[in-house]
Amino acid sequence: MNSKKIAGEKAAEYIKDGMVIGLGTGSTSYYMIEKVGALVKAGMKLKAVATSKESEEHALRLHIPTFDINEVPTIDLAIDGVDEIDNQFNAIKGGGGALFREKIVASHAKEVIWIMDDGKLVKEIGNFPLPIEILPYGYRYVLEQLEKASYLPRIRKKDKEFFLTDNGNYIVDLQLKAPLNTKDIMEHVMNITGVLEVGLFLNMCDRIVVGRKDHSIKVIENKYKR
Ligand code: 5RP
């Protein structure tokens, strides 16, 4: 079994009957969604809110009752992947371009679990390009501001076209280096008109579940979540 599958399936053990589950996006979340599908098939009464159209379609194929975020009063548990995470539970997310929905689902959730293979654990985050979601209107201005701040922005492309998020926006990947001054970056980037969200998820999870190549699993509780 691969490490992502191990982590995704382990995290699903925290799901209880009657919960509203936030479904993450990406290849690790894929396995968690498969497991949620199996739980629903076995008779568990669950509701889900997906963080992307891709995950929503996956959930619907598995007959998981899926709702718009505005249709549920709360999310009991959100389970999602990460691109990089340090031992202070600060993460970079958005490699799949779903960072805005992922952040709003995580912010709304009572409990959050990040799932990953052990390659995602780093001493200091920042070497993975930091994704930010920006509005298409006036994007050149946003790029100029990011360039001025020496963030080395690169607009994400897919098949030679600008990559479009599920919200119809663009993703810009900042080519930074660890360690990051996360407070400065958040303040500076979020202050640029046209930026919707930054893929920095600072101390937002309650636990991480790490699948390893040797098939072992490490669960680390975050006692310091704000
Ligand atoms: C998508 C994300 C993903 O959670 C992140 O990219 C991890 O993906 P994977 O599980 O495929 O490694 O942030 O926007």
pLDDT tens, the chain, 226 aa long:
799 999 999 999 999 999 999 999 999 999 999 999 999 999 999 999 999 999 999 999 999 999 999 999 999 999 999 999 999 999 999 999 999 999 999 999 999 999 999 999 999 999 999 999 999 999 999 999 999 999 999 999 999 999 999 999 999 999 999 999 999 999 999 999 999 999 999 999 999 999 999 999 999 999 887 6
> Is 26 a pocket residue for ligand 1 (Cβ < 6 Å)?
yes
Sequence ranges of the chain with CATH classification 3.40.50.1360: 3-123+202-221
> Is 24 a pocket residue for ligand 1 (Cβ < 6 Å)?
yes
How much distance in Å is there from the Cα of 160 to the middle of ligand 1? 22
Distance of CA 117 to the CA centre of its chain: 14
Instruction: Looking at the CA of residue 95, tell me the nearest atom of ligand 1.
Output: 6
Architecture label for domain 130-199 = 2-Layer Sandwich (3.30)
Q: How far is CA 88 from CA 84, 98, 114, 223, in A?
A: 12, 23, 13, 10
Phi first, then psi, for residue 32 (nearest 5°) are: -65, -40
| pTM for the predicted model, two decimal places | 0.97
Residue 137 CA to residue 191 CA, distance in Å, equals 16
Q: Which amino acid type is present at position 20?
A: V
Dihedral Cα 199, 202, 205, 206, nearest 10 deg: 180
Q: How many residues does the chain have?
A: 226
Residues annotated within a binding site for substrate: 25-28, 80-83, 93-96, 120
Which residue is associated with the tokens 């100029």?
144
How much distance in Å is there from the Cα of 35 to the middle of ligand 1? 17
* Terminal Cα distance for the chain, rounded: 34
CATH of region 3-123+202-221, choose from 3.40.50.1820, 2.30.30.40, 3.90.550.10, 3.40.50.1360: 3.40.50.1360
